[in-house]
Structure 1
Amino acid sequence: MEFKPIGVVDSPFHHKFATPRQPAASPSSRAILVLDRTIVAEGCLHSLEGFSHLWVIFHFHQTQWGNPHGKVQPPRLRGEKVGVFASRSPHRPNPIGLSLVKIENIDFKNMHIEISGVDVVDQTPIIDIKPYIGSYDRPEVWQEGWPANIKDSVNKVTWSPQALADSETHGVPNEIKKVVEESLSADVRNRADKKINDPNKVFAAKISDWDFYFQWLGDHFNVVEVIKN
């Protein structure tokens, strides 16, 4: 079995670190689905403008291959394990992802689809796209298992005077600052860093054309510096 990617995602998130774990985590983030005109046929986007949302099926191309475990540790469970098929983990027998995104604009001529609510890394290969159809995709009765018992915390994000000055100097638009805040508010640190809780450690997130440096100060994130890359 072999699939050819139909395109790639032009995303503001350049690395796995700081990429939202779910589309709803960063509704302000925007990306472009760039379809490969040598793969997809003319007219493939006809009538797509009638839909508000889209399923994007993609390849977790930055996930390391190996022998995937039967159980994984979703970040929201703080170390507790569940079966891989009861999770959205990228560490799967077949590293295929599924995201529900909002359609913002369609460029039919160039076969580009602008989307919002992005949770994928830049240049992620697209396997397929399908319209979201509420009458088909939304069941009347549903149960969501362990996530129903999780109360997500939203962390405060502040900007130091230096970071604000850097943002002004380097022309960081408010839209990107909002994306940074949405990303950090969900806590992008791994389990080890959460255990250590070192207030002196500086993290870096590459988002769009800038590197954002930030620290965890015990009860909130503080962006300390911004550099244009």
Structure 2
Amino acid sequence: MEFTFAPIGFVRGGGNYPQEAPRQGVFARNEGVIELLPERNFETALADLGGFERIWIVFVFDRNRNWKPKVRPPDGAADRRIGLFATRSPHRPNPVGISAVELVRVEGRRVHIRNFDLLDGTPVLDIKPYIPAADAFPDSAAGWRDELDSTRRELFFAEEALGVIGFIRSHGGPDLENAARVQLATRALDPRRQRLTELDRAEHLWLLAFRTWRIVFTAPPVPEPIRVERIYGGYSAEELQPGAPDPYRDKELHRLVRRAFPPPEGK
């Protein structure tokens, strides 16, 4: 037996790469829109939805493949493999996901949402209202997750790092503040799965590589907060010379960042 589904619309907003997606919407700090398609009278179907504070989005994991029956979750169970169906892993045999997000308002065929864990362009299959009396069971047992330390780390940014982040974002680059929060504040650090390099064990200094950018941070033992110290580009001066190959088409932005925030001598 097979079923065929077609999107009713697409998410506009959020990151572009899987590494930018928050593990859950409660960890996100963003706003976006679900744009429904003009056919099939979807605008009328949205009537009366505006009175709900949250909605369920049924969507397609369109950028995830290669599911496995057991996985290593990113939040503290890295020393063991968990059965896929006991996790929220995005790698599913049928790439369908659900997410509870905040509803801001409905305008025509546009559903404005806040704090979501979806990527820009994600296909949406359905929208349902979140009904607290039917959907919330805060005292329910959570299996293997009840064994985890639920302490969440705070994440702070040095003023210098925030300056670079804002500059990159204002020039059309990735949102490195969101990327740092996704990779550092909502999951256990795991060099085997993240692009992490230990720079100084005594100082708890680490380097996170996110695409062509580098994020330097300090991570003292839990529950001490993580602090992002510095952001810089991963290209060398030679790689940024005119005429050098530019496979990611981002070297001009890296050149602007280097001019605005000169690296230490010799870097």
List aligned pairs for 1:137-152, cutoff 5 A.
137-139=135-137, 142-152=140-150
SS in 2 for 1:163: helix
Scaled by the length of structure 2, the TM-score of the pair is 0.69
**Which deviates more from structure 2 when the two are superposed, residues 143-152 or residues 1-10?**
143-152
Matched to 2:33, the amino acid is I
Please tell me whether the aligned partners of residues 17 and 188 of structure 1 are also in contact (alpha carbons under 8 angstroms): no
**Number of residue-to-residue matches in the alignment:** 216
Q: Contact between 1:197 and 1:216, CA under 8 Å: does it hold in 2?
A: no
Q: What is the CA-CA distance between 1:151 and the residue it aligns to?
A: 1.8
* Secondary structure at the counterpart of residue 165 of structure 1: helix
CA–CA distance in structure 1, aligned partners of residues 188 and 33 of structure 2: 23
Greater gyration radius? 2
Query: How far, CA to CA, are the matches of 2:15 and 2:155 in structure 1?
Result: 18
> Structure 1 residues 218, 96: CA separation in 2 closer, same or farther (over 3 Å shift)?
same
Equivalence for 1:198: 198
The CA deviation at 1:121 is 1.5
1:44 paired residue number? 45
Quote the Cα distance in structure 2 between the aligned partners of 1:221 and 1:4: 43
Aligned partner of residue 134 in structure 2, secondary structure: helix
The CA RMSD measured in Å over matched residues stands at 3.1
Distance in 1 (alpha carbons) for counterparts of 2:154 and 2:137: 34
Any unmatched runs of 5+ in structure 1? 206-210
Contact 1:214/1:221, CA 8 A, preserved across alignment: no
What does 1:209-224 align with in structure 2 at a 5 Å threshold?
213-219=214-220, 220-222=226-228, 224=230
CA contact (8 A) 2:59 2:126 kept: yes
Give the equivalent residue in structure 1 for 2:18. Answer: 16
Distance 1:142 1:157, change over 3 A: closer
In structure 1, the partner of 2:54 is 53
Instruction: Indicate the percent of aligned positions where both proteins have the same amino acid.
Output: 24
**2:230 aligned partner, one-letter code:** V
1:164 matched to 2:165: no
**2:9 and 2:125 in contact (8 A); partners too:** yes
Higher RCO (C-alpha 8 Å, min separation 6): 1
Cα distance in 2, alignment partners of residues 144 and 71 from structure 1 = 18
Q: Following TM superposition, where does structure 1 have runs of at least 4 consecutive aligned residues deviating by more than 6 angstroms?
A: 226-229
Alignment CA distance shift 1:24-1:165 (3 Å) = closer
* Local SS of the residue matching 1:115: strand
Question: Quick one: structure 1 residues 195 and 125, their matched pair in 2 at CA, closer, same or farther if it must change by over 3 Å?
Answer: closer
Match of 1:32 in 2: 33
The answer on whether the counterparts of 1:53 and 1:132 sit within 8 Å (CA) in structure 2 is yes
Shift of 1:221: 4.5
Question: In the alignment, what sits opposite 2:264?
Answer: none
Give the TM-score, by structure 1 length: 0.79
| 1:62 has 2:63 as partner | yes
Contact 1:78/1:191 (<8 A) preserved: no
Q: 1:90 to 1:58 in 2, by over 3 A?
A: same
CA deviation profile, 1:53-73 (whole Å, cap 9, x unmatched): 1000111111124xx322221
Question: Mean alpha-carbon deviation: is it higher for 114-123 or for 151-160?
Answer: 151-160
CA contact (8 A) 1:198 1:216 kept: no
Alignment of structure 1 residues 116-131 onto 2, 5 Å: 116-131=114-129
Gaps of 5+ in 2: 200-205, 221-225, 234-252, 255-267
For 1:125, the aligned partner's letter is P
Please state how far the C-alpha of 1:126 moved relative to its aligned partner.
Answer: 0.6
Q: Does 1:74 align with 2:92?
A: no
The one-letter code of the counterpart of 2:144 is W
